[in-house]
Amino acid sequence: MPARLFRHEGAKALAVEATLASLNSVLGEPIEDCLMLDAGGRPVWRHTHRRARAELGLPGGNIFHRELSWPFAEHPEEVGRWGVETDRPNVWICGAGARRGGGVSGIPGHNAAMAVLAT
């Protein structure tokens, strides 16, 4: 979920409640039975965006190093580009923060190489 949704007090609790309800709507038994609990019997939620940023140094607290985006060009200036470009002419993103691919797909590395070869 985008970090901006967690700026408001109680947002995490609402998100967790909605997520669990959604999962439970398609499961044969409550997902809560499978969650790790802390000493107080509460589900252990590892990191919110804010906590991940503070404790792990993740930009924006996001494991993908920025908010996720659609893999296709959304603006005219993005058409015909590889989705790995940055504001610097000789720096390309070849990991999880790339516009196209991201995660562990390997696509950003390919796209960064193609962008380098095109220069």
Q: Are 83 and 76 spatial neighbours (Cβ–Cβ below 8 Å)?
A: no
Encode pLDDT of 70-101 as tens digits.
Answer: 778 888 988 888 888 888 988 998 887 787 77
43 DSSP β-pair partners: 37
pLDDT at 77: 86
Q: pLDDT band at residue 56, thresholds of 50, 70 and 90?
A: confident
Residue 10 dihedral angles phi and psi, to the nearest 5°: 85, 0
User: Would you tell me how many other CB atoms lie within 10 Å of the CB of residue 101?
Assistant: 22
Residue spans per domain, the chain: 3-61, 64-119
pTM exceeds 0.75 for this model: no
